[in-house]
Amino acid sequence: MGLANTIACVAAFCFPVLVGIMTNEEQTLEQWNKIFMLCIALIMSSGIIFCVFGSADVQSWNYPENEENDKNDSDEKKIEKQTEVIAQSVDAVVHL
């Protein structure tokens, strides 16, 4: 996707210069038709490149490390214990 998007972005960045060069002498419908066809060709080519070479597979770097999961689990356990202690304290106060 990065390569295909790069082609489309470079084309969008360069088109104002290209339009200035192509329409400097004459601004006819034929010249503008050439510019639009060139724009369509570059954007379509980037889409085709993605369709041929791209994939929607989830990459391995999408998932966090196990150490992070373990840390989160221990934090959750601490919170649960604290919640239990608070609940017991409240029950003790209510029964007085």
Q: Would you say 11 and 39 are in contact if contact means Cβ atoms under 8 Å apart?
A: yes
- Give the model's pLDDT for residue 85: 81
- State how far the Cα of 29 lies from the Cα of 13, in Å rounded to an integer: 23
Predicted model pTM: 0.48
Q: What is the pLDDT of residues 74-96, one digit of tens each?
A: 778 888 888 888 877 777 776 66
Q: What is the pLDDT of residues 43-73, one digit of tens each?
A: 888 788 888 888 788 878 888 776 555 555 6
Helices (H) and strands (E) in the chain, counts: 3, 0
